[in-house]
Each structure stands twice: as C-alpha cells, then as structure tokens.
C-alpha cells in the first residue's frame, strides 16, 4: 500500500490549536507515543542538524570569516569554483590553507 504524500505546508497554512502532549495521544511514525520529553529531543536534534555541516566536529559551530573583496575578484573566484566543481567557500578555504601552509610563520 502506498503511503499518502504529506500535506504541503506554507506560510499560509492555518495553524490549529496547541496539542497537550500530557493529555492527547499523538503517535510517531513508528507507533511510539509523542511525549513532551521526546518532542524536546526531536527539536534539539533538528536544531543541531539544521544549517551547513560543521567543519570542526559534529554538533560544533565552525568559525566564520568575512572579508570585503572587489567585484572582479569575486567574479574570478566564482568562475574558478564553477570550473573545478567546488563552492566558493571550498575554494576560499583551500586558498587560505595553501597560503598558511607555505608560510612557516603563519602556523606557529
């Protein structure tokens, strides 16, 4: 038997009344009852899983660097990234790793 498609949810989807998990019997796909504790664990898991994968380890936030560059340099980096099949972030990371690995004073 085919499973029905889940309903489409958008910003226009009406929100129903809140569910009291201590009173209402709500079941997960595997048949277990959804409790407040289980709902909290699900929310925490989704929050950790959202966004881009960590470069420093699972569940850890990767540091970010921001820099202003001329439009011509951005265009060149974007063209290069497309050419080699990488993202701009990957290209920038690799360039910084190369720059710091070839300069002995940079890795002290």
Mean pLDDT of 41-56: 75
Tell me, yes or no, whether 57 lies in a domain: no
Does residue 86 lie within any of the structural domains?
Answer: yes
Instruction: For residue 21, give Cα distances in angstroms to 25, 32, 33, 88, 89.
Output: 7, 13, 9, 45, 43
> Does a structural domain hold residue 88?
yes
* Residue-level pLDDT at 80: 96
Residue 80: which residues within 8 A CB-CB, separation 6 or more?
Answer: 91
Q: What does pTM read for this prediction?
A: 0.50
Q: How many domains are there within the chain?
A: 2
Range of the domain at 101: 71-107
Q: State the pLDDT at residue 1.
A: 65
CA 11, distance to chain mean position in Å, is: 21
Is residue 44 included in any domain, yes or no? yes
pLDDT at 96 over 90: yes
């Amino acid at each position: 038997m085919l499973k029905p498609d889940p309903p489409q949810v958008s910003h226009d989807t009406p929100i129903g009344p809140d569910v009291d998990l201590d009173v209402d019997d709500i079941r997960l796909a595997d048949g277990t009852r959804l409790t407040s504790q289980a709902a909290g664990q699900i929310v925490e898991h989704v929050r950790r899983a959202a966004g881009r994968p960590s470069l420093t380890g699972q569940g850890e936030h990767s540091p970010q660097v921001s820099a202003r560059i001329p439009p011509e340099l951005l265009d060149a980096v974007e063209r290069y990234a497309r050419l080699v099949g990488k993202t701009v972030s990957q290209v920038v990371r690799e360039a910084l790793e190369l720059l710091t690995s070839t300069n002995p004073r940079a890795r002290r």
